[in-house]
Amino acid sequence: MTIRHLFTDHPSSLGETYPEHMRASLSYAVPLLGAAMAAFVHAVFPFLHTTTASAAVKRLYDRMNRRCVACPSGRVHRPDLFARTPSKVAFKPGLMYEI
């Protein structure tokens, strides 16, 4: 395994390039960092940021659960999948969906 593969195998398994995967990962890391800082402030001053961290985590959780693994940009590429229960979803062969 070359060093290049260390940086490209995982992103390519998600249909992303290294820069696309970095951007997607940072789009989770930055809000999580903000949530962690808000939680720290809340620990010292419990009257501040009473829901900031939990709201950020909920938003990221919802976003993560809508993300289609086959979509390079992480968009919801089949919004109809989320209008029904997973047992009634017809999956397109060859694509992996995270629901």
Alpha-carbon distance of 69 to 89, in angstroms, equals 16
49-65: average pLDDT: 89
Between CA 34 and CA 91 the distance in angstroms is 36
Provide, rounded to the nearest whole percent, the portion of the chain with pLDDT above 90. Answer: 38
What sign does the CA torsion over 89, 65, 6, 27 have?
Answer: positive
Q: Is the pTM of this model over 0.75?
A: no
Torsion of CA 70, 17, 28, 30, to 10 degrees: -160
Closest CA to 94 of 75, 73, 76, 69: 69
What confidence tens digit (pLDDT) does each residue in 19-54 have? 998 998 899 999 999 999 999 999 999 999 999 999
